[in-house]
């Protein structure tokens, strides 16, 4: 698989992101204090190896293939660990507000 081309924002920013299945509408919402592109690359490696911890996301990746998924930036945050930012709380806010089915385990 060719290396994905990331926008300048994805290569230089951090925050809350989504992996969206464009076929069935499901979405995974995540957060990173580091570059979006680094986190997304990590997801792609796990998905291509068949070892992603989100079972249903992995199953859909296997069925529909990489071309059925979009990586989307939901909210920008300062790059690096920001002691003023509770990344998990902001991620959960996006999860609770989602209007589509999620691959996330909601608690």
pLDDT digits (tens, 9 = 90+) for 46-77: 999 999 999 999 999 999 999 999 999 898 87
Angle at Cα 95 formed by Cα 68 and Cα 75, nearest 5°? 80
Task: Report the pLDDT value the prediction gives residue 2, as an integer from 0 to 100.
Answer: 40
pLDDT digits (tens, 9 = 90+) for 5-19: 556 665 677 889 999
User: For residue 23, what is the enclosing H or E element?
Assistant: none
Q: In the chain, which residue ranges form alpha helices assigned H by DSSP?
A: 8-12, 36-49, 55-64, 87-97
Beta bridge partners of 27: 20, 102
CATH classification (class only), 11-97: alpha beta
Give the rounded distance of the alpha carbon of 34 from its chain centre.
Answer: 13
Q: Rounded to two decimals, what is the model's pTM? A: 0.82
pLDDT digits (tens, 9 = 90+) for 29-42: 998 888 888 999 99
């Amino acid at each position: 698989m060719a290396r994905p081309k990331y926008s300048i924002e994805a290569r230089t920013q951090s925050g809350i992101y989504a992996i969206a299945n464009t076929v069935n509408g499901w979405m995974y919402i995540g957060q990173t204090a580091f570059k979006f592109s680094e986190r997304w690359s990590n997801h792609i490696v796990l998905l291509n190896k068949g070892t992603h911890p989100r079972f249903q996301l992995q199953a859909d990746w296997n069925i529909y293939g990489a071309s059925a998924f979009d990586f989307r930036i939901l909210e920008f945050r300062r790059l690096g660990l920001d002691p003023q930012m509770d990344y998990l709380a902001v991620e959960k806010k996006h999860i609770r507000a989602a209007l589509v089915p999620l691959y996330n385990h909601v608690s």
